[in-house]
Amino acid sequence: MEKCLLLGNGGREAVIAENIAKTYSLYSVLPYENPSIVEYVKKSNGKYIVGSPFDKELVKKFIEEEKIEVCVISSDNLLQDGLIDLAKSLGLKTFGPTSIAAKLEWSKTYALDIVQKLAPEMVIKNFEISTEAELEKAMENYPDENFVVKPEGLTGGKGVKVGGEHFSSKEEGFAYAKECLNASGKVIVQDKVKGSEFTVMVLTDGKNVVPLPITFDYPYRYEEDKGPGTGGMGCMSFSNGLLPFLEQKDVDECVNLIQKTINYVNKDSLEFTGVLYGGFFKTEEGIKFIEFNARFGDPEAMNVLNALETPWNEVMENIFNQTLSTENCKFKKTNTFLVYIVSKEYAVKKNNEPVIFKLNKKQIENKGVKIYFANAKEIGENEYTSVSNSRLFALEKTGDNLEELKKEVYKVIDEEVDKVLDYRKDIGEIYEH
């Protein structure tokens, strides 16, 4: 079996690990022992070390000593930091963009400029700002708080602030835009649009793209999409691969933009492979572009990879050989439903203490629900602790009837999830903004 290195340690990586471990020996460099990733490393007779995946010397030594042949990365900061570049330089076959190609995610202005060239009709009116004078001028376009502020760099899904939702006056929005400008030298201010948000992800070998089932994410912390932005509190996908408010032609328009973007980024050399994620809004004025991510979404990866029919090694081989197609990369016609479990303070308070919680993994699995650990580690029998104030674990179920899936996952949450923890109780509803 080939040896495959996976870097990254969230719920997204837990499901990638599950897929890799079916057909490769899984290797990893983990900052803490993510119980899911550790389980899949052991099942596949692989190996992990505890250390920083950002430590290039450590990763290089591990790759060389263990003679690792393949590398998969789908985490924004690791991609920006050039860990795929490192793996390529050591001769590994890689899944994930180089740092320069991941700029589609780590520079919001770079992404907007490309979409402006390729599909100007999809761009929401915006101001790319790099001085305080430009910010003041842009503000003249807005009589009140009805605008959106987008930081330039990576923010783990928590940086975009929407007027009326995250700030309640023009002054507050201006102050946040100024803070972003001071932090990175750039900020985007854009019109607020009304519509339904959705995600289109594709797998790509750098030339061909295969669209994944469309997912509906819950980026806000509380029910009815209230509260601060988060990395995503839940996610679902439908058996027809669409969402109730989307038609195939809407998706085709997004995939067309994604395909053109990959061609544009790869025009000189093959820099982008893996997953390109597009965030979009369906509005009365048509489909509008929000952002690109250079990786699988988290939690979206747990939904789409549970619908993947083709073994992961075949997908990878077709990516390495640039032969990826909808014929050799197939998805089941199934629904997927997922709820992320978090601490009560997640996304609302900083510098909080670790949360210790009880969890009987076997019992959850025996009830037919999958569990993927994220920012948690085991500290005793059926006892875990958070390792940061990020999402802790996700519960996922795949099947024919979405209403049933929802009932079953929430029943398991009710019976099995420690009351010290929190989650959104309305995953499954469709919201418009």
Name the site residues for ligand GLY (rule: CB under 6 A): 157, 217, 231-232, 293, 297-298, 300
Angle 77-81-83 (CA atoms, 0-180°, nearest 5)?
Answer: 100
How far is CA 54 from each of CA 25, 69, 77, 190, rounded to the nearest angstrom? Answer: 22, 19, 9, 33
Find the shortest distance in angstroms from Cβ 135 to ligand GLY. Answer: 26
Give min distance, CB of 94 to ligand GLY, in A.
20
Contact (CB, 8 A) for 265 and 99: no
Residue number with CB closer to ligand GLY (48 or 272): 272
Measured from the CB atom, the residue of 74 and 318 that comes closer to ligand GLY is: 74
List C-alpha distances in Å: 153 to 192, 231, 292.
20, 15, 12
**Closest CB 128 distance from ligand GLY, rounded Å:** 21
Nearer to ligand GLY, 118 or 160 (CB): 160
User: Minimum Å distance from CB 431 to ligand GLY?
Assistant: 15
Q: Which is nearer to ligand GLY, 154 or 193 (CB)?
A: 154
Rounded CA gap, 90 and 84, in Å? 10
Closer to ligand GLY at the Cβ: 300 or 422? 300
Alpha carbon of residue 309 to chain centroid? 21
Least distance in Å: CB of 338 to ligand GLY?
11
- Residue 135: both structure tokens together: 């910010």
Nearest distance from C-beta of residue 291 to ligand GLY, angstroms = 8
The residue among 174 and 218 lying less far from ligand GLY, judged by its C-beta, is 218
Q: Find the shortest distance in angstroms from Cβ 199 to ligand GLY.
A: 7
Q: Which is nearer to ligand GLY, 290 or 417 (CB)?
A: 290
**Alpha-carbon dihedral angle through residues 372, 376, 378, 381, given to the nearest 10 degrees:** -70
Smaller CB distance to ligand GLY: residue 227 or 354? 227
Residue 82 corresponds to which tokens in the numbers above?
């050039």
* Nearest distance from C-beta of residue 299 to ligand GLY, angstroms: 6
d(CA 258, CA 281): 15
